[in-house]
Structure 1
Amino acid sequence: MRGGRLLGALLPVLLLATGCGIRATDVVEAGEPATVEVASGGRRSALVYFVSSSSASRLMPVVRTMSPPESVDGGAWTDNGLSGASAALYLLFQGPTRAERDSGLRSELPTGGGLSAAIELSSVGVKVTIGMPVTGLSEAARQQLVCTAAAASTADRTEVVTVIGTEGVIGPTHCAV
Structure 2
Amino acid sequence: MRPRTGPAGAPAAAALLAATLLAAGCGIQSTDVIAVGGPATAHVEGSEGGSTVLYFTGPDGLMPVVRSGRGVGPALPLLFAGPGKAEAAAGVRTELPPLRGPASMSVAEGMVTVVLGQEVGGLSLLAQRQIACTVLRATARGGRVQVTIIGTDARSSISPIACPD
TM-score with structure 2 length normalisation? 0.72
Residue 55 (structure 2) pairs with residue 49 (structure 1): yes
Specify the code of the residue in structure 2 equivalent to 1:48: L
Q: For 1:45-80, what per-residue CA distance to the aligned partner results, in whole angstroms no more than 9, with x for missing partners?
A: 21101111x34xx1111111355xxxxxxxxxxxxx
| CA 1:136–1:107: 2 relative to 1, 3 Å | same
Consecutive unaligned residues of structure 1, counting only runs of 5 or more, are: 1-15, 68-81
RMSD, matched Cα: 2.6
Task: Give the Cα separation in 1 of the matches to 2:39 and 2:143.
Answer: 20
Task: Give the Cα separation in 2 of the matches to 1:157 and 1:96.
Answer: 28
Higher relative contact order (CA 8 A, sep 6+): 2
Q: State the shift of 1:32 in Å.
A: 2.0
Q: State the shift of 1:151 in Å.
A: 0.6
Describe the SS at the equivalent of 2:98. coil
Q: Is 1:49–1:147's contact at 8 Å kept on the other side of the alignment?
A: yes
| CA 1:34–1:83: 2 relative to 1, 3 Å | closer
Q: State the shift of 1:126 in Å.
A: 1.2
* Match among 56, 59, 62 for residue 65 of structure 2: 62
Residue 34 (structure 2) pairs with residue 31 (structure 1): no
* Match among 87, 93, 96 for residue 106 of structure 1: 93
Give the aligned partner of residue 129 of structure 2.
143
Give the aligned partner of residue 108 of structure 2.
122
TM-score with structure 1 length normalisation? 0.67
Q: For 1:84-140, what per-residue CA distance to the aligned partner results, in whole angstroms no more than 9, with x for missing partners?
A: 3xx11111011110000011101110124x531111111132111111221211122
Q: Is 1:147–1:157's contact at 8 Å kept on the other side of the alignment?
A: no
Q: Is 1:126–1:160's contact at 8 Å kept on the other side of the alignment?
A: yes
Structure having the higher Rg = 2
Specify the code of the residue in structure 2 equivalent to 1:109: L
After superposition, residues 153-168 of structure 1 pair within 5 angstroms as 153-156=139-142, 159-168=145-154
| CA 1:28–1:83: 2 relative to 1, 3 Å | closer
| CA 1:115–1:175: 2 relative to 1, 3 Å | farther
Q: Across the two proteins, how many residue pairs are aligned to each other?
A: 140
Residue 155 (structure 2) pairs with residue 152 (structure 1): no
Specify the code of the residue in structure 2 equivalent to 1:145: I
Task: Give the Cα separation in 1 of the matches to 2:102 and 2:26.
Answer: 69
Task: Give the Cα separation in 1 of the matches to 2:143 and 2:40.
Answer: 18
